[in-house]
Amino acid sequence: MRSEQEMLDLIVNTAKNDDRIRAVIMNGSRTNPNAPRDIFQDFDIVYLVTEVGPFKDDHTWINRFGEMMILQMPEAMQNWSPRNDGRFDYLMQFTDGNRIDLAKYMFDSIVREQLMIMLTWNVGVKIQFSRSPGKLGKRLKQYLEPEFWAMLEKTYSDASYENTWAALYMMCDLFRMTAGQVAKHMGFDYPRSDDEKVSAHLQHVQLLPKNAIEMY
């Protein structure tokens, strides 16, 4: 796992070596000397650039940051209307355990949010999008297969460590099953390679000792 200094050098040198990048800003917990440090802290980075277009139209420029485990670009995914405010986010998890959020984006509740979107699509496929499962999926139980509804119920956990992990894995299983159905119906290939890499990473993290100082 690359050290914090190695990552900071890479981030700063990327800015120095590209005339289109006018400034680089880091925010988040790494900028707070009083914040406790742990191996899960990401790098919240903002590049101020002369023009956003070239950076979002050609994604190969981010290859310099390392071997990617998974990449998300929320604006490109368009689960919601793009902000059109001059920002474009890259969320990058690297195979060595480091993570960069390039520009700032909060991951809070993202897993459940995406699961609910997929469940809504899964229901839509089954009923040919003739009806809505309601705001925030309040009528999902009426349309979901009993097996899927039972799995969804198990994604809500108490505060225990073991049960939280079990709920997370159940979310992954439910997303995988419903997304596979939706992908098949829509003529898409489900990205199983990404799924396998992220699942392996989660299992690795779960087994880390509590006093671990490196992720890999």
User: What is the model's pLDDT at position 107?
Assistant: 41
Three-state DSSP state, 122:
helix
In order along its 216 residues, the chain shows pLDDT tens digits of: 899 999 999 999 999 999 999 999 999 899 998 888 888 899 999 999 999 899 989 999 999 999 999 998 888 876 555 556 678 889 999 999 999 987 754 444 578 888 999 999 999 999 999 988 888 788 999 999 999 999 999 998 887 888 888 988 999 999 999 999 999 999 999 999 999 999 999 999 999 998 888 888
38: left (phi over 0), alpha (psi -120 to 50) or beta: beta
Instruction: Give the ranges where the chain is alpha helix by DSSP (H).
Output: 4-16, 53-57, 74-77, 110-126, 140-143, 146-153, 161-186, 192-206
In 3D, which of 48, 49, 43 has the Cα closest to residue 20?
49
Q: What are the residue ranges of CATH 3.30.460.10 in the chain? A: 4-102
CA dist 35 and 26 (Å) reads 15
* Residue extent(s) of CATH 1.20.120.330 domains in the chain: 110-206
Superfamily of the domain at 4-102: Beta Polymerase, domain 2 (3.30.460.10)
User: Tell me, which fold does domain 110-206 have in CATH?
Assistant: Four Helix Bundle (Hemerythrin (Met), subunit A) (1.20.120)
